[in-house]
Amino acid sequence: MKTYKELYQRRKLNAWLDITTFCNAACPQCHRTDPETLNKVDWLPLIQWSFEDFKKAFPIKTLKYIKNFNFCGSLGDPIMNKNIFKMCEYIVDNSDCYIMINTNGSIRDEFWWTHLGYIIKDRGEVVFDIDGTTQEMHSHYRQKTDLKLILDNMKAYKQYGLVGIFTVIYKHNENYLKEIYDMVSDIIGEHQHTFVPSDRAHHIDKFKFYKDGEEQFLEHSPKYGKSPQRSSFNINQI
């Protein structure tokens, strides 16, 4: 029987990690958001990994078995963790791992994002969530985020780093996908852009939430369907 070490040496692993449960956004269908208030759900504690805990969980001898390191945003935005510079530097300096960061991008300033790009350079990619060409369209789902700030931060990061874009499709933005792609292209040029119908609340067509006490809805896209029935696609498939 082969040991775990032998198996790891044959096939490197993908690591997915939430390094914080803090988030500046209040997306109505997110697991951490109460759709009645757009506040954080009561059951989720607010935590963030320290740099020391990160090194203990991923010592240098472990990093060599990892191919891709994904700082995902399942329960929080990784950019909210104040130690992310140190974590990325540690990975870059001690391994050949590829770093992936998923973020709403609506936090920090341009100087901060330029520095992150300088740390990671071509050793990784930051994927920004952009769901519209206007603040109103974008923030209908990405509540409490600022589209202009996101675009400025994206441009700053692109000075040194690689950028990807992720767009969730609903009824309210389904006819503007090409415009979203073109808006981003005008700022950073050709880029990897992933479009995907919402996979949240796929058992219902209209998802109700409340903003400032007012009833609002998110509706699945009639044009592109909804996940899990419809997978992601790129600009050439629109």
Domains of the chain: 9-237 (3.20.20.70)
Separation between Cα atoms, residue 43 and residue 211, nearest integer Å? 21
| Residue indicated by tokens 């078995």 | 65
The model's pTM is 0.92
Greatest Cα-to-Cα distance within the chain, rounded to the nearest angstrom? 61
Q: How far apart are CA 219 and CA 170, in angstroms?
A: 6
Contact 70, 16 (CB under 8 A): yes
The whole-angstrom separation of Cα 184 and Cα 192 is 10
Give CA–CA dist 25/10, Å, rounded.
40
Distances (CA, A) of 233 to 37, 52, 169, 237: 33, 39, 11, 6
Quick: pLDDT tens for 65-102. Answer: 999 999 998 899 999 999 999 999 999 999 999 999 99
List C-alpha distances in Å: 174 to 16, 170, 223. Answer: 29, 6, 7
Residue (of 151, 89, 156) closest to 123 by Cα position: 89
Distances (CA, A) of 5 to 14, 82, 105: 15, 33, 37
The crossing angle, in degrees rounded to 10, of helices 177-188 and 147-157 is 40
Cβ neighbours for 238, distance < 8 A, ≥ 6 positions apart = 177, 178, 195
> For the chain, which ranges sit under pLDDT 70?
1-11, 202, 226-231
Alpha-carbon gap, residue 48 to 21, rounded angstroms: 6
Q: What's the DSSP call for residue 233?
A: B
Q: What is the pLDDT of residues 133-163, one digit of tens each?
A: 999 999 999 999 999 999 999 999 999 999 9
Helices (H), the chain: 4-10, 51-57, 60-63, 84-94, 110-120, 135-139, 147-157, 177-188
Contacts of 67 (CB under 8 A, 6+ apart): 12, 13, 14, 97, 98
Q: What is the pLDDT of residue 11?
A: 58
